[in-house]
Chains A and B, each alone.
Chain A
């Protein structure tokens, strides 16, 4: 049958063994943070340190997006003064950070997770509720699993 060689094809043709959901961590309030607890289903696939590093970086990025500081206040006031029409021309700080996060996740997937048969889904696609990690089945008959 087919030999798949790219991540796209992998997603379409590989079978999903399981999905793991990393839930939100609300202990610091309502800001977007995810639990760093290592799920047991990933024990055989990936290093605990690696996983925690990924989640911690994501948490830091989300914290940066929601940070209250001079910059966000300035942006808020400017927006109010221009009756929020300024957002027709420029992106909010939050959106800029979300793009950064998307790039980071893509990079993590390419470098670390795809070679291990895992796939991180950007939390924004799940309404910032969970980090969904898809575990693909091991292809037993020698087919290439990923890049």
Chain B
């Protein structure tokens, strides 16, 4: 905290040069010092990430491991106990085909489980505020044509002749696109949301639906394959040595048959169901709700269907694969959502972010500019200004900005300057445009939090406007 602990983080804050003209050397230097966080680390949903953001899964993955174990163990037993007999007595093509099927099943399983299902990133604060304003306007306006007005948090849109209601998602603060739904388990809105599959340990949505479908299809083939050939194996053995001794010779076969028998119904059934869904271009969600069922009305049809089964299948399985919208491995940009210092009363909407790429660091720059201006006055010119610091120099990192190493001064109230000030050594040179100064932790701060240190040079009671500015600047600094 103090002493050595104070100097360490302060060293990270060392700016060797602040140029009023260009801030880009500053940026580069600063970003080098502070480790940048990847977006998956600050992802708001309830997902788990592995391999530095490459793998994305739901929170509960227990059932996924069960799925893996079941498949691997059953297939392993098949290859170990049944395949040797079958390969020698029938054909070696059997283990070969089995192997290919097994690899394909596992590949599709991993692909379905580990990829982003099509999560929609949540709205930025600006977007959310803009939408809220729009919703407010909708409420204020009178009913539309025909006296019917949809409830404020829904929007109606006509897609290919069908009226579709877009709902507002309170968690993600967006109007959900058609076919998107919010998964309560993962706490994300997912595009073309099909369902959350615990067996796969992930949501099934636009980006991984084809993998999920190929997984269950190939798994049903594998299950049927194993079942058929294990039964064949047992029968062949029984014809040679009798039924009971056949079972004794190959006990694993019993286990395999049991597992396959119970799986086959559910998995083949599921494959059949999803084949139907793909053919009609519906999601599980829509089918269960009966959104496009003709029972709802004669005029009710699916506006997303491409017309023919073949076209729908091709679109679902071979269509273009959209990229992930959440950019999990990208770096968090140092955007600071701070209230705008100036208010534009007449403007329709004031951004809560006064500067697009503003960060704590820029606040620092602004504040130090104030300090320099103040320092440029005769009173303070060319003097070593030592401002006492408090335990705000503890180096507690703030979230996500390049100035993370700057101590969060939330502990110290932004009150009178001496209570919330930095340890600084300012060198003011009267250059026309440029100023050079250095912030450095002083070892003198190693003493206990010196909140009471007054610095006569920064007398808050001073009426001088420059001093007031410098006070403001220093206060701003401390609030960074």
Contacts and interface: CB of A to CB of B under 8 A. Distances in A.
Interface of A: 1-3, 8-9, 11-19, 21, 23-24, 26-30, 41, 65-68, 72-73, 75-77, 79-80, 83-84, 92-95, 98, 119, 124, 126-130, 132, 134, 137
Contacts of B164: 26
7 contacts: A21-B126, A27-B159, A28-B160, A72-B318, A75-B320, A80-B317, A94-B323
B252 interface: no
Contact of A29 (B126, B131, B304, B322): B304
A21 B356 contact: no
Interface stretch (B20-28, B48-56, B260-268): B20-28
A16 B120 contact: no
Interface string B150-172: 00000001111000101000000
B130 A19 contact: yes
B351 interface: yes
Interface of B: 20-24, 103-104, 107, 111, 120-121, 123-124, 126-127, 130-131, 157-160, 164, 166, 174-175, 177-179, 191-192, 214, 303-304, 306, 311, 314-315, 317-323, 325-326, 340, 342, 344, 347-351, 353-358, 362, 369
A41 B134 CA distance: 14
B314 A68 contact: yes
Given A13-B355, A19-B349, A66-B320, 10 more contacts: A13-B23, A15-B342, A21-B127, A26-B177, A26-B178, A68-B314, A77-B318, A80-B317, A83-B107, A127-B121
Contacts, number: 141
List the 3 closest pairs (A to B, CB-CB), nearest first. A76-B318, A127-B121, A127-B325
A61 to B, nearest CB: 13
A65 B126 CA distance: 28
B110 to A, nearest CB: 10
B322 A94 contact: yes
B353 A16 contact: yes
Contacts of A68: 306, 311, 314-315, 319-320
Contact of B160 (A24, A29, A95, A134): A29
Contact of B124 (A11, A84, A126): A126
Contacts of A13: 23, 355
B23 A12 contact: yes
Contact of B325 (A65, A67, A128, A137): A128
Nearest to B27: A12
Contacts of A3: 21
Given A8-B24, A29-B303, A94-B323, A129 B123 contact: yes
B192 A15 contact: no
Contacts of A75: 318, 320
B26 to A, nearest CB: 10
A36 B439 CA distance: 51
B179 A30 contact: yes
B351 A72 contact: no
Contacts of B353: 16
B237 to A, nearest CB: 35
A87 to B, nearest CB: 8
B347 A126 contact: no
Contacts of A79: 321
B355 A92 contact: no
A124 B157 contact: no
A68 B311 CA distance: 9
A100 to B, nearest CB: 13
A26 B126 contact: no
A24 B71 CA distance: 43
B355 A15 contact: yes
Contacts of A2: 20-21
Contact of B348 (A18, A26, A65, A119): A18
B323 A16 contact: no
Contacts of B355: 11-16
A75 B210 CA distance: 14
A11 B150 CA distance: 39
A140 to B, nearest CB: 12
A83 B100 CA distance: 11
A78 to B, nearest CB: 10
Contact of A93 (B177, B320, B326): B320
Nearest to B23: A12
B40 to A, nearest CB: 15
A119 to B, nearest CB: 8
Contacts of B340: 15-16
Contacts of B22: 9
Contact of B174 (A16, A84, A129): A129
A14 B20 CA distance: 14
A3 B177 CA distance: 43
Given A12-B362, A76-B317, A134-B356, A19 B120 contact: no
